[in-house]
């Protein structure tokens, strides 16, 4: 077998420097996406999913990818779930959700915690399992109930004094808001620039929601909901994001008090919302998807994970993205759409400016500042959102990326095939 024939057989599991023409060419061994969905993202402690357990939200997205793809659940070999806050990593309830959603007990399940990138890390895990021949079909997902988990066990109760004597190790304990302030100060990201970026996110998300652009990616969630005033419990069906606000301007945001330092620039209006939600992505080997008649809406090309100084953890995308593009053999100019998580406006603005990418291509329907960042779910959510937007716009290549608590960044390169 010639080297060229071998490359054609392996497909995008060998990426190298071949570039756009290569990664957009279909090969039998490609890792393709057959379905990608998310729940609505709702405000923690206040929103429609505040009383939904993580397994309720997970079950909804598992059912969603099964129904949209038409796959026989018995053919799903492995499920990876990103989850950050629950005790035990949410492993038990993830398994329960899979079984409840109709996946048989022969389908394996694991959870992982790479903090804000967990939902992307699960997609990478399943894609790598497919690429190496370990499985043919799997689900990469993520979930977070920040209502139930935020502040409870998020940090260890006891920390080694010896380990903490290392300055960078100690920086891993910095509150995320302080790392945002560090980015703003160290790299000169002004309050005005942050508020302008945040207002853009709200306005784009508001317009997208009113135009019904999120409906294709969202699966409804039926859940109990307790009225915080009366205490009455009722059953509701949550169908849309509830954190998006209308009429936000840079001027209105400029009046919000800083949240982490008196002279700071980060506040509730230019940082991601504390939210609840879940998302899932069904992946398969292209040859298997063809054989089974599964829909193919996109493909995973490659990804990268890097480390950065913990005290400015938000700069992660600026360093993960170039590494991912290099692995894919493409330039930033060849990317049609960017989904860069808006953990804080400070780090998002820095990343966009550092990379010198077109803001028009970044989060065209808004981001986490506008509709929330349920930690374990965001990576998978970004894929569902990007694919939905690519279908509307005709964009071909898209990149997802986010910063990661304790000082890291992650990025994934994908191709739209709709």
List, by residue number, the catalytic residues. Answer: 116, 373, 403
CA angle in degrees (0–180, nearest 5) for 126-128-134: 80
CB 277 within 8 A of CB 381: yes
Return the DSSP state at 113.
-
Q: At what angle do helices 118-131 and 378-393 cross, to 10 degrees?
A: 80
* DSSP assignment of 172-192: TTS-HHHHHHHHHHHHT--HH
Biggest CA-to-CA distance, the chain: 72
CA 166 – CA 177 distance, rounded (Å): 21
Cβ contacts of 142 within 8 Å, gap of 6 or more = 81, 82, 83, 118, 119, 122, 278, 279, 280, 374, 376, 377, 378, 379, 380, 381
- Please state, in angstroms and rounded to a whole number, the distance separating the CA atoms of residues 78 and 278: 18
- Give the whole-angstrom CA distance, residue 212 versus residue 224: 25
**Token reading at 114:** 């790479």
DSSP code at position 271: B
Is residue 231 exposed (0-12), middle (13-18) or buried (19+ Cβ within 10 Å)? exposed
- Quote the CA–CA distance of 185 and 198 in Å, as a whole number: 18
Is residue 131 within a helix (H) or strand (E), and if so which, with residue range?
Answer: helix 118-131
Place of tokens 């307790």: 226
């Amino acid at each position: 077998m010639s080297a060229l024939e071998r490359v054609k057989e392996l497909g995008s599991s060998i990426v190298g420097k071949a570039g756009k023409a290569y990664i957009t060419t279909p090969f039998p061994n490609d890792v393709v996406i057959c379905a990608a969905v998310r729940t609505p993202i709702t405000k923690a402690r206040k929103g429609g999913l505040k009383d939904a357990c993580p397994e309720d939200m997970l079950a909804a997205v598992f059912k969603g990818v099964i129904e949209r793809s038409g796959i026989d659940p018995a053919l799903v070999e492995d499920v990876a779930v990103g989850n950050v806050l629950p005790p035990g990593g949410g492993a038990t309830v993830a398994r329960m959700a899979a079984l409840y959603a109709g996946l048989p007990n022969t389908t394996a399940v694991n959870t992982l915690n790479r903090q804000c990138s967990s939902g992307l890390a699960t997609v990478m895990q399943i894609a790598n399992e497919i690429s190496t021949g370990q499985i043919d079909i799997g689900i990469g997902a993520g979930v977070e109930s920040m209502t139930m988990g935020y502040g409870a066990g998020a940090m260890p109760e006891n920390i080694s004094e010896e380990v903490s004597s290392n300055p960078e190790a100690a920086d891993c304990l910095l509150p995320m808001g302080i790392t945002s302030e560090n980015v703003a100060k160290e790299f000169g990201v002004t309050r005005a620039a942050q508020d302008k970026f945040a207002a853009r996110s709200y306005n784009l998300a508001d317009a997208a929601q009113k135009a019904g652009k999120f409906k294709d990616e969202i699966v409804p969630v039926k859940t109990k909901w307790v009225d915080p005033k009366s205490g009455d419990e009722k059953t509701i069906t949550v169908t849309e994001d509830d954190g998006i606000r209308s009429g936000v301007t840079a001027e209105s945001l400029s009046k919000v008090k800083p949240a982490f330092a008196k002279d700071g620039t980060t506040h509730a209006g230019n940082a991601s919302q504390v939210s609840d939600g879940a998302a899932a992505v069904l992946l398969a080997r292209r040859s298997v998807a063809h054989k089974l008649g599964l829909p193919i809406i996109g493909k995973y090309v490659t990804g990268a994970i890097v480390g950065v100084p913990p005290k400015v953890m938000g700069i992660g995308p600026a360093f993960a993205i170039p590494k991912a593009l290099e692995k894919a053999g493409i330039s930033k100019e060849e990317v049609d759409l960017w989904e860069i998580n808006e953990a804080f406006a400070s780090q998002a603005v820095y990343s966009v400016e550092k990379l010198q990418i077109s803001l028009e291509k970044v989060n065209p329907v808004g981001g986490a500042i506008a509709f929330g960042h349920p930690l374990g779910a965001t990576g998978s959510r970004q894929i569902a959102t990007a694919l939905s937007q690519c279908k509307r716009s005709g964009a071909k290549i898209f990149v997802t990326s986010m910063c990661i608590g304790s000082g890291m960044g992650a990025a994934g390169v994908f191709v739209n095939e709709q």
